[in-house]
Every structure is written in structure tokens, then in C-alpha cells.
């Protein structure tokens, strides 16, 4: 056996250690959190609607007196919810391309809550993560039925008595799943299910914000149940905040 000098052996061990350390570093970057707080980017902005927005239609809940009573006659459709400036609510804004394909994001422990109150779903559009618990609450004194009709997930068709506990999960990404109640035909909701945490639903002022983004180039898509889908491409640098505006047109106004 050929003898190696001690410094040579030491250099070999040192080189091996360095290679091993580098491999560990690469693995931990891939498996780690998306971005350090200092480097994280933000995409924020507003969704707007232009054109004539149809007025919400009054919902006649007299079919179920408990619903009519709970809502005091003020139920209205939520197909397009916008204020007088055109700020558009209930738009799902999300990253549709650009994320590292092998990145894995565990769902949060805390559930997302959907409430049935006054025979209306609140919120009207629910965004959640794949395999995250969706807690469905029946705050009414009547029985509801919750019936999501997915294309890419397991169909659920479940009745729920007043106050009865009910939870569900969706295993795969799907934007968006229409939801109805078989008992009260006016009840409508949509579930948007994501495999990553980079999404938001616009609020009453049409605003959204997606934070903690790793620097990179992305496609940002905005989805509305009646007004369709649009997308924009952006690049977010280290610690950068980018602003976007999505403008949807009603048929009457286009
Ligand atoms: Cu119902």
C-alpha cells in the first residue's frame, strides 16, 4: 500500500468535508423557507372593474322561513361586488408560474373558516391551501348542505344540522371549485385551493397583498367568478415591493 504523507491525508479530509458541507448547504436552501425576511419581496395592488356593473339582485328566501327571518329580507347576489370607484372584491390573485417546482410548502395548522349565516356563505370566496382544514360552521337554525363540485378533487355532498361540526380538506390545487347548498339554491361560494402560500383574495377596497416572496420572475394571475381571468408578468428583486392593477371589464362596458 502506498503511504500518503500526513499533510496530504489532512488535505483530502478537509476537501471531503468542504464538499459535504456544500452539499448540505444546497439541500437546506432547497428545502428551506422561501426567502429570508430581509430578501423577501411583496406584490400588492388592486383589482378594478370597468363598465356597467349589474346591481345585486334581491334573493327571495321565503322558501325557508328560518332563512328569511335570519336575513330580514336583505339577501342579495354576490356575483360582482364592487364599490362606486370600481374596486372589485372577491378576486383571487395568485402566483401561477415562476416558483421553484420542487419547493414544498406544508399547510398551516390553523383552519380556514367558512360560515353559513343568514343562509349566506361568508366569505363568498374562500382561499386555502391543499390539505389545510376547512372548518364549516352552521350558525343558522336550519339545516344546510354543502356541495363543492371540483374537477381535480374529491366531490363532497354533506348535510349539516344547526351547530353540527364539519371539516373538510382538498388534496390538490384547483382554482376555483364552485360550491352550492342543495337545500337553498341561492347559496353560492367558491373555494380556491393552492399548493403554495402565495395568494390573496381582494377585500372590499379591491386590494390584495402577497408577501414573503423569494426574489424571481413570476406570472401573477387574477381570477373572478364572473369576469374571468387575467395575468401579468413581473420580476421581484431582493426586498422589493411591486404594485399591480388588474382591470376587469363587464360585457356591457367593453
Ligand atoms: Cu343552505
Q: For residue 175, what are the CA distances in angstroms to 116, 129, 194?
A: 21, 11, 8
With cell 336550519, the residue in question is: 142
C-alpha 24 – ligand 1 centre gap (Å): 53
Both 143 and 188 in one domain: the answer is yes
With cell 367558491, the residue in question is: 190
pLDDT at 1 over 60: no
What integer is the mean pLDDT of 194-217? 96
Is the alpha carbon torsion for 29, 31, 37, 41 positive or negative? positive
Largest alpha-carbon pair distance within the chain?
95
Is the alpha carbon torsion for 11, 16, 21, 25 positive or negative? positive
C-alpha 179 – ligand 1 centre gap (Å): 11
Q: Which of 29-33, 63-67, 200-204, 222-226 has the lowest mean pLDDT?
A: 29-33
Nearest 5°: phi and psi at 241? -115, 125
Into how many domains does the chain fold? 2
List the CATH number of the domain containing 111: 2.60.40.420
Both 28 and 134 in one domain: the answer is no
| Cα–Cα distance measured from residue 173 to residue 25, given in angstroms and rounded to the nearest whole number | 30
C-alpha 155 – ligand 1 centre gap (Å): 17
Q: For residue 13, give its domain range.
A: 1-32
Q: Which of 29, 33, 37 is nearest to 239 (CA)?
A: 37
Neighbours of ion ligand 1 (CB under 5 A): 144, 181, 183-184, 187
Both 49 and 127 in one domain: the answer is yes
Above pLDDT 70, what percent of the chain? 83
Both 78 and 173 in one domain: the answer is yes
Both 21 and 100 in one domain: the answer is no
With cell 343568514, the residue in question is: 118
Which residues are registered as beta bridge partners of 58?
76
C-alpha 76 – ligand 1 centre gap (Å): 15
Which residues are registered as beta bridge partners of 148?
179
Above pLDDT 90, what percent of the chain? 72
Say if pTM beats, i.e. exceeds, 0.75: yes
Q: Which of 218, 221, 209, 219 is nearest to 246 (CA)?
A: 221
Q: Dump pLDDT digits (tens) for 114-141.
A: 999 999 999 999 999 999 999 999 999 9
Q: Dump pLDDT digits (tens) for 54-98.
A: 888 999 998 999 998 887 666 889 999 999 999 999 999 999 999
Both 3 and 121 in one domain: the answer is no
Q: Dump pLDDT digits (tens) for 6-57.
A: 455 444 444 444 444 433 333 333 333 455 666 799 999 999 999 999 888 9
The β-bridge relationship of strands 241-249 and 134-138 is: unpaired
Amino acid at each position: 500500500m502506498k503511504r500518503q504523507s500526513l499533510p496530504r491525508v489532512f488535505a483530502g479530509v478537509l476537501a471531503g468535508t468542504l464538499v459535504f458541507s456544500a452539499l448540505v448547504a444546497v439541500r437546506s436552501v432547497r428545502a428551506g423557507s422561501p426567502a429570508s425576511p430581509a430578501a423577501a419581496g411583496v406584490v400588492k395592488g388592486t383589482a378594478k372593474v370597468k363598465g356597467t356593473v349589474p346591481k345585486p339582485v334581491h334573493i327571495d328566501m321565503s322558501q325557508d322561513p328560518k332563512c328569511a327571518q335570519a336575513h330580514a329580507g336583505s339577501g342579495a347576489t354576490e356575483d360582482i361586488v364592487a364599490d362606486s370607484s370600481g374596486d372589485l372584491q372577491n378576486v383571487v390573485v395568485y402566483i401561477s408560474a415562476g416558483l421553484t417546482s420542487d419547493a414544498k410548502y406544508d399547510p398551516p395548522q390553523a383552519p380556514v373558516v367558512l360560515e353559513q349565516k343568514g343562509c349566506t356563505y361568508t366569505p363568498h370566496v374562500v382561499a386555502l391551501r391543499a390539505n389545510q382544514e376547512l372548518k364549516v360552521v352552521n350558525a343558522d337554525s336550519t339545516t344546510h348542505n354543502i356541495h363543492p363540485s371540483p374537477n381535480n378533487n374529491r366531490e363532497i355532498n354533506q348535510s349539516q344540522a344547526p351547530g353540527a361540526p364539519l371539516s373538510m380538506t382538498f388534496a390538490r390545487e384547483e382554482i376555483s371549485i364552485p360550491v352550492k347548498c342543495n337545500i337553498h339554491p341561492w347559496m353560492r361560494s367558491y373555494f380556491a385551493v393552492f399548493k403554495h402560500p402565495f395568494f390573496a383574495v381582494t377585500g372590499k377596497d379591491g386590494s390584495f397583498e402577497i408577501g414573503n416572496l423569494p426574489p424571481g420572475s413570476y406570472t401573477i394571475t387574477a381570477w373572478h367568478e364572473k369576469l374571468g381571468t387575467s395575468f401579468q408578468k413581473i420580476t421581484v428583486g431582493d426586498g422589493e415591493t411591486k404594485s399591480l392593477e388588474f382591470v376587469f371589464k363587464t360585457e356591457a362596458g367593453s
